[in-house]
Amino acid sequence: MILAGGSGTRFWPLSRELSPKQFISIFGGVSLITQAVRRVSELAEADGVHVLTNERLRDELQNHLKSQAALVGCTIDYLAEPTPRNTAPAIALAAAYLERLDPEAIMVVLPSDHLLEDGERWERTLRVAVGLAERGRLVTLGLTPTYPETGYGYIHMGAPLTGAAEGDTLGHDVAAFVEKPDRETAEAYLAEGGYLWNSGMLVARAAVVLAELEAAGARAETPDSAGAAEMASVAREVAALGPKTWTQDAARTRFGALPAVPFDKAVLEVSDAVAVVPADMDWSDVGSLAALEQVAAPDERGNVLSGNVVDIDSHDTIVYSADRLVATIGLADLMVVDTTDATLVAPKDRAQDVRLIVDALKATGAREIVESRSSLRPWGSWTLLTKGPGFQVKTIEVSPGQRLSLQSHEHRSEHWVVVEGRGRITRGSEVFDIGPNESAYIPRGFTHRLENPGTSVLRIVEIAVGDYLGEDDIRRFEDDWQR
C-alpha cells in the first residue's frame, strides 16, 4: 500500500500540484513513486500492489505509472481516498479494504516520495518485519542515524525481539517515539545509540491495524487516539461501499468527519503491539529542495551543480537546471532551481519557505503552481511549446505500439506534422499512415485518433487552433486506458 496523496509543494518548482514530489525523477533516474513500486513489486503477491492517492491525482498517477510500465513490472490497483484526512484515516481505510480482499492480509505501508536503498538489506529488513507482523505486531521501520538530523522524529528502541530475526537484523520493542529533537538532543541520541529515525514505513496485518485502532480508541489515552475506534468503523463502512464510490458524497461525508491525525499519534504512540526493525540503510525523506544536494557530487568549493550550468566563484551553492542555461557568479549558500517555465532562487537554509512562494502564487492563480509544460500520458507524453490567442503548439510523443483515445473536440481543430517515426491516423471514417515531413488536418468536431504502429517513437508537432483550448474539451469514444 503506497501512500501517494501528497501535494509536495515544498519541492516547487520541480513539483507541481498535478505532478507532486513523487513524480520527480531527478533522484535515481526514475520517479520516486516508480522506485517505491519497484521496491515491492517482486515481493508482493500478484495484484498485491495498491496505490492510495486522491481523486485529483489518480489520473495523473495512472498516466505516470503506465508510461513507466516497463520499469514498474506489475499491475497496480489505484485507490482514491474520499478526502485527505492525514495518515490515520488513510491507513485505516487501506486496512479495511485489504482485510476485505484477504482477512489474513499483511500490509506494507510505504511512502511514495522517499529515497531508500534497494536490494538485499531492504528485503531482509522487510522479511523480518513481516515475520513480526505475522505474530500480531504493528511493525515500523527505523533507520540507523548517520548524523544528528533535527528534521526527523526518532524511535527509542526497547528490548530485542528474537522471534523473526535474520542474522543481526532483528526487531525491538519500542521504548518511545520522540519528536524532532534540537541539535544537542540529536547529538546525544547519536552518541548514546539505540535511537532510530522514524521513516513512516509500517508493516502489519490489516486486521491488527484495525484492532489496534479500536483498542487505542477504547483506551483514549491521548486526544489524538480518542477517535481511533471511530476511524476503524468508518473505514470498514466505507471500504464495504467499494472503492469506486469512495469519492462520492456518502463516503466523503463519513470519511471527512474523521479527525485528521497521523497514524503515529493515533495508534503507534499508544499501542502495546508496536515493534521496530532497525535498518542500517541509505534513506532520505527528500523533505525539501535542499535534498538537491544529493543529486550530484559536490565540487571542491562545496557546490552541487547539475544540468546546463556555468559557475564562477560560487561556494556551498546548489544550482539545478532541468534544461535551460543557468549562469552563476559568486553565490554563497544559495540554491537556484530552474525549470522550463519557472526559476527559484533562495538561500539553502530557507528551503522550507518555498511554501510561502507557493501560497503567494496560488493567490494569483498562477498556472506554474498547478502543472508544468510537460505531461506524461499512458501512451507517451506531450510538451507545451507556446500558447497564444486562439492557438497553442505542442510536441507529442507516442510510444511504440501505443495510441491515444478515439476522441473529438468541440472547440479546436488540430494540425499534425510528423517529425519522427510513423503515425496511423483515424479521421472520421478514414484510416491512413503518415511519416516524417507529412501532415494531417483534423477539423473541429471530427472523430480522430493518433496511433504509433511502429517499433520506434512517433513524434509529432501539433498546432491546435480554436476559441477554447483547455484539456477538458475532449470527448472520448474509445480508450485503451479506460479514461
Q: Is residue 419 within the footprint of its own copies (CB under 8 A)?
A: yes
Q: How far apart are CA 429 and CA 89, in angstroms?
A: 50
What binding mask, one character per residue, do residues 12-41 give for its own copies by CB under 8 A, x or -? -x----------------------------
Total chain residues near its own copies (CB under 8 A) = 55
Smallest gap from residue 392 Cβ to its own copies (A): 9
Binding mask 300-319 for its own copies (x = CB under 8 A): ----------x-xx------
Closest by CA position to 303, among listed 292, 314, 288, 287: 314
Read off the amino acid at residue 398: V
DSSP state of 22: G
Q: Which is nearer to its own copies, 77 or 368 (CB)?
A: 368
Tell me: does residue 325 bind its own copies (CB under 8 A). yes
Q: Is 327 in the site for its own copies (CB under 8 A)?
A: yes
For residue 183, what is its C-alpha cell?
541539535
Report the site for its own copies in 453-472 (rule: CB under 8 A).
459, 461, 463, 465-466
Q: Which is nearer to its own copies, 121 or 415 (CB)?
A: 415
Binding to its own copies (CB under 8 A) within 422-451 occurs at: 436-437, 439, 441
Q: Does 365 bind its own copies (CB under 8 A)?
A: no
Within 10 Å of residue 51's Cβ, how many Cβ atoms? 24
Q: Select from 193, 194, 223, 347 the one that contacts its own copies (CB under 8 A).
A: 347
Q: Can you tell me which of 338, 402, 451, 452 binds its own copies, judged by CB under 8 A? A: 338
Residue 417 interacts with its own copies (CB under 8 A): yes or no: yes
Closest approach, Cβ 443 to its own copies, in A, equals: 9
* Residue of 310, 345, 342 lying closest to 328 (CA atoms): 310
Distance from C-alpha of 195 to C-alpha of 149, rounded to nearest angstrom: 12
- Give whole-number Cα distances, 419 to 205, 340, 415, in Å: 53, 22, 13
C-beta closer to its own copies: residue 253 or 386: 386
At 446 the three-state DSSP class reads: coil
Contact region with its own copies (CB under 8 A), list: 37-45, 46-54, 246-254, 346-354 = 346-354
- Smallest gap, in angstroms, from Cβ of residue 324 to its own copies? 6
Judged on CB neighbours under 10 Å (0-12, 13-18, 19+), 64 is buried
By beta-carbon proximity to its own copies, the closer residue of 257 and 356 is: 356
> Should residue 346 be labelled a site residue for its own copies when binding is judged by CB under 8 A?
yes
Residue with cell 507545451: 384
169-178 and 304-306: which strand pairing? unpaired
Query: Among the candidate windows 22-30, 257-265, 296-304, 388-396, which touches its own copies by CB under 8 A?
Result: 388-396
Residue 58 parent element (H or E)? helix 55-67
Cα-only R_g, the chain: 25
- Minimum gap (Å) between residue 383 Cβ and its own copies: 8
Cβ at position 37, least distance to its own copies in Å: 31
Cell 517529425 sits at which residue?
Answer: 419
Give the DSSP letter of residue 465.
E
CB atoms inside a 10 Å sphere around CB 159: 10
Q: How far is the CB of 310 from its own copies (least distance, A)?
A: 5
Q: Work out how close the CB of 330 gets to its own copies at its nearest, in angstroms, rounded to a whole number.
A: 5
Q: Which of 328, 375, 405, 408 binds its own copies (CB under 8 A)?
A: 328
d(CA 44, CA 55): 25
What does the alpha-carbon distance between residue 35 and residue 78 come to, in Å, rounded to a whole number? Answer: 16
* b/e 14-48 (16+ beta carbons within 10 angstroms → b): bbbbebbbbbbbbbeeebbbbbbbbbbbeeeeeeb
- Considering only 65-73, 89-97, 170-178, 357-365, which stretch makes contact with its own copies by CB under 8 A? 357-365
Q: Does residue number 360 form part of the binding site for its own copies (CB under 8 A)?
A: yes
CA distances (Å), origin 358, targets 85, 364, 372, 401, 432: 21, 10, 14, 39, 46
Nearer to its own copies, 4 or 318 (CB): 318
Say how far apart CA 312 and CA 119 lie, in whole Å: 40
Q: Is 393 in the site for its own copies (CB under 8 A)?
A: yes
| Distance (Å, whole) CA 24 – CA 250 | 34
Q: Which stretch binds its own copies (CB under 8 A): 16-24, 75-83, 143-151, 345-353?
A: 345-353
Chain positions contacting its own copies, by CB under 8 A? 13, 310, 312-313, 324-331, 334, 336, 338, 341-347, 350, 353-354, 356-357, 360-361, 364, 366, 368, 383, 385-386, 388-391, 393, 395, 413, 415, 417, 419-420, 436-437, 439, 441, 459, 461, 463, 465-466
